[in-house]
Chain A
């Protein structure tokens, strides 16, 4: 394996991190919005969300991606490999995030909400001050779990021509007929990426504890 090969895998790492981050950053709020629609039991919308989440959780990411990539152009929507990859990641992860958020919302003590109502807080304020800080703390481990799964599922994006860490490693193996060294490098790169996420989670958790101690 040459230096250029390692660089190629690192380039794949940039793609893996960019796509997963984009997927996470878009999927997280969408998941929360979907969960809120269900929690508030908005007529019709709550039903649609339930079906969406069930369907998306039952669809393998690679199948969803191929469907988006090959079927959307047939209905007149031109979609490139990167956009299709991001769309598939967001659709997939938002469904799973929705369930994590919803679990936290379902366990949210109703009396706190009613107490906030009785002192005259507006709905957006109730959500921002009372609900959100508490459900974030409860949801965090589940959300980070889902994020790390998302990072590790990115190799399936290769099927439409996205070159992530794993695909870059496969290409090198195909050129040198020595697949083991590139795969070892690939694994050595995945580990710190997921570890960084875990460190971030610990940091947020510690900070919350510190903030509460002050209060």
Chain B
């Protein structure tokens, strides 16, 4: 199942069949299902997708989903006049699932980027997610950003943090340095583990994730400095699903008004972000 066996010997019939299948696969994007309108959602329920290993936003503790976003989903269940159906899955499939209409909304910390805005729409930001680096506590060779030159960095594949590494590259080049080797991971726990083992020299993630990590492992890791400009995470819906977007923004505005948003931010991130914009237009 894992090894390549005999080479494919295509007869003319099978070649035609294979070409047919390929064409069908290529034609697929044009068939992309239209995202559910609010009327439709009222009938069948809202399908939300969340992650399972992105502490403190969403993670699983003793078999139960918990974290900042999961507590908000509990509130959303009371606020929404329809049923909420939650799907928990790894990051890899989430945004693809939302843009193809498999899920209505990704209730996770999806950083707003220019590229993602081409296929997704984002709600009001849920936190400040300026990117920081985290290093091993006992690594004396890194004291500030310029020491990162040429060193190996770990980030999540397909993440906004990866997409914005050139920003750090530009910072380093100003001092005559350059960005070192980039190692991509499917999720952050593996990146942290490799950092602890010395396979990478630093890991870039949002300040919130890094603070949580360092609070949990103060003897192993140390928070570094910001390596990006302003960056905000938000929930994502399919492009053009304005009705749902307005509904969710209304929910977020209400949570902000009642002070619940700040309370949850304090609980999960250690600080609240009262200055969050209602809408954010990314530069990157």
Find the B residue at minimum CB distance from A72: B102
Q: In whole angstroms, what is the CA distance A179 to B194 when docked?
A: 11
Count of chain A to chain B residue pairs whose CB atoms are closer than 8 Å in the complex: 112
Q: Is A122 an interface residue (CB 8 A)?
A: no
| Cβ contact of B31, chosen from A67, A74, A149, A150, cutoff 8 A | A74
Interface size class of A (residues with CB under 8 A): 35 or more
B100, A70: Cβ atoms closer than 8 Å: yes
Q: Is the interface of A mostly helix, strand, loop or mixed?
A: helix
B binding-site residues for A, Cβ under 8 Å? 1-2, 5, 8-11, 13-14, 17-18, 21, 25, 28, 31-33, 52-55, 59-63, 87-90, 92-93, 96-97, 100-102, 187-190, 192-193, 213, 216-217
Q: Is A66 an interface residue (CB 8 A)?
A: yes
| Cβ contact of B93, chosen from A57, A71, A159, A163, cutoff 8 A | A159
B59, A175: Cβ atoms closer than 8 Å: yes
List A residues 142-168 near B (Cβ within 8 Å).
Answer: 146, 149-150, 153, 158-161, 163, 167
Mark the stretch among A1-9, A107-115, A125-133, A194-202 that contacts chain B.
A1-9
Residues of A within 8 A of B1 (CB): 61, 92-93, 96, 146, 149-150, 153
Digit string of A5-37 for contact with B (CB within 8 Å is 1, else 0)?
101100100000000000000000000000000
Not counting A70-B102, A93-B1, A179-B193, a sample of 20 additional A-B residue pairs whose C-beta atoms are within 8 angstroms of each other reads A4-B63, A7-B63, A54-B10, A55-B21, A67-B25, A70-B96, A70-B97, A71-B25, A73-B33, A73-B101, A74-B31, A153-B1, A159-B92, A161-B89, A161-B90, A161-B93, A173-B189, A174-B187, A175-B59, A177-B189
B53, A174: Cβ atoms closer than 8 Å: yes
A55, B93: Cβ atoms closer than 8 Å: no
B55, A174: Cβ atoms closer than 8 Å: yes
Q: In whole angstroms, what is the CA distance A172 to B53 when docked?
A: 8
B5, A57: Cβ atoms closer than 8 Å: yes
Closest chain-A Cβ to B272's Cβ sits at a distance in Å of 23
Q: Is A204 an interface residue (CB 8 A)?
A: no
Q: In whole angstroms, what is the CA distance A92 to B31 when docked?
A: 26
Residues of A within 8 A of B14 (CB): 47, 50-51, 54
B87, A175: Cβ atoms closer than 8 Å: no
B190, A179: Cβ atoms closer than 8 Å: yes
Residues of B within 8 A of A141 (CB): none
B100, A73: Cβ atoms closer than 8 Å: yes
Residues of A within 8 A of B28 (CB): 71, 74
Residues of B within 8 A of A7 (CB): 63
B87, A81: Cβ atoms closer than 8 Å: yes
Residues of B within 8 A of A69 (CB): 93, 102
B88, A161: Cβ atoms closer than 8 Å: yes
Closest chain-A Cβ to B10's Cβ sits at a distance in Å of 8
Q: In whole angstroms, what is the CA distance A173 to B191 when docked?
A: 12
B62, A2: Cβ atoms closer than 8 Å: yes
Q: Which of B1, B8, B88 has the most CB of A within 10 A?
A: B1
Given contacts A75-B31, A158-B90, A161-B89, contact A171 B192 (CB under 8 A): no
B189, A160: Cβ atoms closer than 8 Å: no
Q: Is A170 an interface residue (CB 8 A)?
A: yes
Subset of 26 A-B contacts with CB under 8 Å: A4-B63, A11-B63, A51-B14, A51-B17, A55-B18, A61-B1, A69-B93, A74-B28, A74-B33, A81-B87, A96-B1, A149-B1, A158-B90, A159-B92, A161-B89, A161-B93, A163-B88, A170-B52, A170-B53, A171-B53, A173-B53, A173-B189, A174-B52, A177-B216, A177-B217, A179-B190
Q: Is A214 an interface residue (CB 8 A)?
A: no
Residues of B within 8 A of A175 (CB): 53, 55, 59-61
List A residues 53-79 near B (Cβ within 8 Å).
Answer: 54-55, 57-58, 61, 66-67, 69-71, 73-75
B193, A4: Cβ atoms closer than 8 Å: no
